């Protein structure tokens, strides 16, 4: 018999072997799940796309062959991603790609390229042929700066025949080239970067500006004495702008580094990203642009914030005809957060508070959009509550209608809310008014809003992925501010150069140097953020004191417009484009006067006065203006029906009322306690029809003088007047004919008598 300890050791060995096999057969190992996504600014290659993408292209390629299970590859992935973001503007000259050799479908091509260690980086020059296996990179891959410099060295080793067509010259400029530059180049600016022999600054800025038009960049070495003396350059590095009229001006920045020079040149007037010439045309295309509003980029505009509120609450939420479950919760939390932290104008805040109270009152009940939009439109008539209608972009306006606008304003709103929540935790007044805010409250609320309401589903998916990745690690309000800021910059990096980017407002890392120079620095040639300075800047930039109220309409102007719009809609017999008729939703006509509109204000809306009559037609639309559709015969029939009902027994009254309510008749029925006709209302309506008080007798019954109305009960007063006028004209015509023939007869008789004499 084997010893128990031996058997235990054997079973342990079996379990270890099974665990090892299970690990090897996990989905990540079998399918080769990669370490990169398209959002990382790298091209993901597969065995069936490698040749098509890499070979015979006009740009060079730097390809990383890696294995997703390789620990060194996992550690190197952030460096490669950082490099891709760092040189994303260089894509027309050189692009980065990756291929996962751990994927079984890529194993053969990795063997073909003789890749045996991971990661392996290979350089493919422009117009490489399929037989070329790439040049193995053997530099220090741990540093983004070293990789960037090695890329420049590899580009410069291109022969003249295979030089990437989009890549500008990287060699130093000479005096002769500068003197004749504008004669052969149609650009507005020439940026000259004076530097030492071993500096890469000029070449880096040259490649950074590769995709921008109306500007060229050349490097000038300190040994080029003619140029340095001509421009009076004594410090290196230095940048000068050279103009077509042969004048020049020094570029003044906080630090003479790549980050500051590149940003300065990209923001020069007339400098735009050239790729948009192929996709966006400023020619006449049937689009009328609104007048441009001059704005200060150092300010936050309330017009943008209110436009974001209008679009999000009316349009984005309006995509859901019914709000229930998670969408109901998301809306609840979003409105509550706005009420707590949005520094809006008083009438906007009053509307948000009213909406929050209404949502709290109905609890978790299902909400229809029509009911919800009635609250936003303040149909209950709460004094001093109003949300401006429409959008009016100022700081978020774009050069074309499809650019910026709502996404820009929503990001601005989100940043503002995170900053206000942090300040609330720091202010004693706010602490007394609200309980201390959970650092994740605002971020979780924004996450729910984006998930359930933001219209761009791809953008919502990316935001959700970022939130799932690291949002739960936020532990303070300041970290919440910085988390949202860093993710916004990540989005800007992903969308830089995309078709959605406004050429007038490129998607740069924010804040830019001209707004916060203290936020930027460089360490060993690589850009770094000074997070303390960034946090301070964000708290100042998104403070209520920095909000600009230009281009806003006042409360009185907005109320006048709203009143005029409602009167116009009533005159047309319909509500606005976003609002259904109130009668279609609840079967109740709007109140006619102040007495009828006397309400008890509750969070649910309006409760009618007991004296107010409620009318409806079962199964049909309730009609808006009864006096415009009920004729005299309807009133008379109603009168006699009510007289007849008075003589009926009280026990049958309810049955008859129910029969009249649900029967096929088309006139309006009363469900008040009394079935008698309201003669005061009838008298008022008859007056509107043009019939005087003589129609009703002392007791409210028709008199003998009303024979005209009884005979013509289907005609209006205008119809009867036309009939009388037609009768008079016919009589006059007949009288004229009679007189004519009578005179003619007498004339003939006189003529015959005269002839006989």
CA 338 – CA 333 distance, rounded (Å): 9
Is residue 297 within 8 A of residue 395, CB to CB? The reply is: yes
At 94, give phi and psi (nearest 5°).
-150, 140
Burial of residue 716 (number of CB atoms within 10 Å: 0-12, 13-18, 19+): middle
- CA–CA gap between residue 290 and residue 293 (Å, rounded): 9
Residues found in the chain:
757
Catalytic residue among 73, 396, 408, 424: 73
* Three-state secondary structure string covering 448-479: HHHHHCCCCHHHHHHHHHHHHHHHHHCCCHHH
Backbone angles phi, psi at 343, to 5 degrees: -90, 60
| 57, 93 Cβ separation under 8 angstroms | no
Cβ-in-10-Å burial (0-12, 13-18, 19+) of 707 comes to exposed
DSSP calls for 478-542: HHHHHHHHHHHHHHHHHHTTSTTSBTTB----SS-TTT-GGGEEEETTEEEE-HHHHHHHHHHHT
In whole angstroms, what is the distance from residue 656 CA to residue 268 CA? 82
Rounded Cα distance, 544 and 712, in Å: 69
Structure tokens at 348: 């906007």
Q: How many CB atoms lie within 10 A of CB 47?
A: 16
Query: Which has the closest alpha carbon to 446: 406, 416, 479, 402?
Result: 416
Active site residue 73: yes
Of residues 4, 70, 396, 459, which has the active-site annotation?
Answer: 70
Distance CA 442, CA 418 (A): 6
String of DSSP letters for 323-383: E-THHHHHHHHHHHHHHHH----HHHHHHHHHHHHHHHHHTT--EEHHHHHHHHTTTT--T
Catalytic status, residue 424: no
Helical ranges in 542-670 per DSSP H: 555-572, 582-586, 632-646, 653-662
Among 82, 36, 74, 78, smallest CA distance to 527 is for 82
Q: The tokens 């709007």 sit on which residue? A: 590
In angstroms, the first-to-last Cα distance of the chain is 174
User: Where does residue 525 fall: left (phi above 0), alpha (psi -120 to 50 degrees), or beta otherwise?
Assistant: left
Q: How far is CA 162 from CA 148, 568, 606, in A?
A: 20, 69, 77
Interhelix angle for 346-362 vs 326-341, to 10°? 150
Q: In the numeric block, which tokens belong to residue 323?
A: 């709000």
Query: Under DSSP, is residue 589 helix (H, G, I), strand (E, B) or coil?
Result: coil
- Collect all residues with Cβ–Cβ distance below 8 Å to 606 and sequence separation of at least 6: 380, 599
Please check whether residue 615 is in contact with residue 668, taking contact to mean a CB–CB distance below 8 angstroms: yes
Residues with a catalytic annotation lie at 70, 73
């Amino acid at each position: 018999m084997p010893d128990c300890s031996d058997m235990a050791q054997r079973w342990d060995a079996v379990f270890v072997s099974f665990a090892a096999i299970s690990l090897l057969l996990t989905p990540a190992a079998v399918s080769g799940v990669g370490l990169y996504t398209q959002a990382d600014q790298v091209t993901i290659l597969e065995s069936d796309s490698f040749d098509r993408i890499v070979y015979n292209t006009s740009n060079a390629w730097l390809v990383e062959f890696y294995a997703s299970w390789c620990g060194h590859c996992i550690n190197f992935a952030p460096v490669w991603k950082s490099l891709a973001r760092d040189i994303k503007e260089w894509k027309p000259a050189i692009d980065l790609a990756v291929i996962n050799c751990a994927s079984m479908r890529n194993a053969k091509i990795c063997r073909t390229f003789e890749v045996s260690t991971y990661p392996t980086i290979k350089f493919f020059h422009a117009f490489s042929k399929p037989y070329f296996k790439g040049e193995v990179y053997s530099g220090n891959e741990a540093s983004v700066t070293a990789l960037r410099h090695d890329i420049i060295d590899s580009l410069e080793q291109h022969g003249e025949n295979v030089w990437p067509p989009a890549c500008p010259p990287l060699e130093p400029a000479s005096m002769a080239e500068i003197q004749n530059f504008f004669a052969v180049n149609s650009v507005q600016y020439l940026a000259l970067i004076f530097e030492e022999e071993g500096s890469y600054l000029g070449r880096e800025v040259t490649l950074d500006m590769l995709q921008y038009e109306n500007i060229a960049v050349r490097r000038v070495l300190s040994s080029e004495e003619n140029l340095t003396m001509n421009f009076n350059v004594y410090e290196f590095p230095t940048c000068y702008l050279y103009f077509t009229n042969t004048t020049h001006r020094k570029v003044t920045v906080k630090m003479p580094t790549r980050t500051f020079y590149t940003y300065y040149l990209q923001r020069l007037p007339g400098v735009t990203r050239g790729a948009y010439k192929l996709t966006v045309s400023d020619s006449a295309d049937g689009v009328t642009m609104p007048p441009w509003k001059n704005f200060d980029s150092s300010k936050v505009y309330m017009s943008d914030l209110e436009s974001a509120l209008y679009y999000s609450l009316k349009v984005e939420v309006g995509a859901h005809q019914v709000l229930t479950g998670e969408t109901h919760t998301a809306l609840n939390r979003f409105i509550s957060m706005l009420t707590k932290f949005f520094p809006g104008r008083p009438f906007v805040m009053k509307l948000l508070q009213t909406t929050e109270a209404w949502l709290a009152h109905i609890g978790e009940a299902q909400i229809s959009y029509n009911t919800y939009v009635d609250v936003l439109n303040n149909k209950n008539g709460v004094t001093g509550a109003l949300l401006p209608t429409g959008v009016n972009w100022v700081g978020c306006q774009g050069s074309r209608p499809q650019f910026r606008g709502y996404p820009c304003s929503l990001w601005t709103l989100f940043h503002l809310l995170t900053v206000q929540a942090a300040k609330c935790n720091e202010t004693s007044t706010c602490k007394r008014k609200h309980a201390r805010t959970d650092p994740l409250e605002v971020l979780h609320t924004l996450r729910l809003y984006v998930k359930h309401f933001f219209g761009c589903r791809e953008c919502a998916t990316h935001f959700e992925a970022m939130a799932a990745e690291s949002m739960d690690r936020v532990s303070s309000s300041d970290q919440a501010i910085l988390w949202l800021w860093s993710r916004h910059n990540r989005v800007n990096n992903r969308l830089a150069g995309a078709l959605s980017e406004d050429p007038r407002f490129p998607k740069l890392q924010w804040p830019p140097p001209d707004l916060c120079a203290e936020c930027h620095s460089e360490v060993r040639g690589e850009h770094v953020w000074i997070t303390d300075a960034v946090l301070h800047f964000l708290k100042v930039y998104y403070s209520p004191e920095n909000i600009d109220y230009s281009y806003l309409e006042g409360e009185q102007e907005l109320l006048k417009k709203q009143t005029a719009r409602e009167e116009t809609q009533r005159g047309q017999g319909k509500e606005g484009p976003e609002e259904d008729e109130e009668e279609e939703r609840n079967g109740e006509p709007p109140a006619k006067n102040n007495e009828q509109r006397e309400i008890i204000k509750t969070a649910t809306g309006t409760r009618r006065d007991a004296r107010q009559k409620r009318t409806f037609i079962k199964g049909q639309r309730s009609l808006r203006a009864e006096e415009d559709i009920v004729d005299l015969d309807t009133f008379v029939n109603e009168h006699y029906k009510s007289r007849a009902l008075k003589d009926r027994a009280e026990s049958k009254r309810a049955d008859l009322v129910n029969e009249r309510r649900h029967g096929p008749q088309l006139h309006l029925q009363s469900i008040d306690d009394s079935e008698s006709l309201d003669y005061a209302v009838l008298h008022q309506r008859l007056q509107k029809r043009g019939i005087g008080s003589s129609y009703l007798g002392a007791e409210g019954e028709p008199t003998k003088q009303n024979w005209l109305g009884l005979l013509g009960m289907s005609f209006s007063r205008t119809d009867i007047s036309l009939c009388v006028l037609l009768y008079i004209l016919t009589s006059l015509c007949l009288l004229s004919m009679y007189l004519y023939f009578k005179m003619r007869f007498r004339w003939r008789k006189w003529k015959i008598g005269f002839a006989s004499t």
